């Protein structure tokens, strides 16, 4: 049966990804998160598209399970769309972080398959937010795939999800967390 073959292949791909994840990168991300909690900082989680939904879910987990004050700009659709209308899509996350007084006790976490590329206008809003985070001294954690894009270049900790099957890269990145 075709669906059984798909299930077997998909789970095999997930197992391969799990084997290839850089444990040191995960450990570094955990250390940053522990530091944020100890300093009573905040975690701001960014994502676009499906990654925005994962950011919302992660806010819940970090608040409830890890006891870290966490927020995502995509959780408040009214505010998000007002900011897009007034400030534009490229600066929407920067403006949100500015109004939340991002500081060195805080961290910004990015969920993104590509990690952003301002030159190609791919997730430029994430790129601009990360530039702002660096300027403010906040830590950056990336959970990305492919080459990691801009996020991988500037992150203090970056978990790069390996591409095992390009057709399933989005599901592999965020469907199994």
90 pLDDT band (50/70/90 cuts)? very high
Structural domain range at position 92: 2-174
pLDDT 10s digits, 5-47 = 999 999 999 999 999 999 999 999 999 999 999 999 999 999 9
Asked whether residue 83 carries a pLDDT value surpassing 80, the answer given is yes
Mean pLDDT of 155-174: 85
CA–CA distance, 48 with 113 (Å, rounded to integer): 10
Which CATH number goes with the domain that contains 170?
3.40.50.10490
Closest to 71 in 3D by CA, of 50, 46, 105, 101: 46
What stretches of 21-91 show up as alpha helix (H) in DSSP?
Answer: 23-38, 50-64, 77-87
Length of the chain: 177
Would the pLDDT of 177 be above 50?
Answer: no
User: Residue 37 in contact with residue 56, Cβ under 8 Å?
Assistant: no
List the single range of 55-59, 120-124, 145-149, 166-170 with lowest mean pLDDT.
166-170
pLDDT tier for residue 133 given thresholds of 50, 70 and 90: very high
Q: What does the alpha-carbon distance between residue 148 and residue 161 come to, in Å, rounded to a whole number?
A: 9
What average pLDDT is seen over the chain? 94
Q: How many domains are contained in the chain?
A: 1
Q: Within 13 Å, how many C-alpha atoms sit on residue 12's CB side?
A: 7
148 to each of 49, 63, 88, 95, 101, how far by Cα in Å? 17, 26, 24, 24, 27
């Amino acid at each position: 049966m075709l669906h059984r073959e798909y299930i077997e292949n998909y789970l095999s791909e997930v197992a391969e990804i799990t084997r290839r994840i850089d444990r040191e990168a995960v450990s570094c991300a955990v250390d940053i998160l522990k530091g944020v909690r100890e300093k009573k900082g905040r975690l701001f989680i960014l994502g676009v598209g499906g990654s925005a939904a994962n950011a919302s879910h992660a806010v819940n987990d970090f608040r409830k399970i890890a006891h870290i004050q966490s927020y995502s700009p995509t959780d408040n659709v009214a505010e998000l769309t007002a900011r897009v209308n007034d400030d534009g899509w490229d600066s929407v996350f920067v403006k949100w972080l500015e109004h939340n007084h991002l500081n060195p006790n805080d961290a910004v976490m990015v969920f993104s398959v590509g990690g952003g590329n301002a030159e190609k206008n791919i997730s430029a809003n994430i790129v601009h937010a990360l530039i702002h985070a660096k300027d403010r001294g906040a830590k950056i954690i990336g959970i990305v795939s492919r080459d990691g894009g801009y996020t991988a270049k500037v992150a203090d900790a970056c978990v790069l999800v390996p591409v095992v099957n390009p057709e399933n890269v989005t599901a592999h990145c965020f469907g199994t967390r």
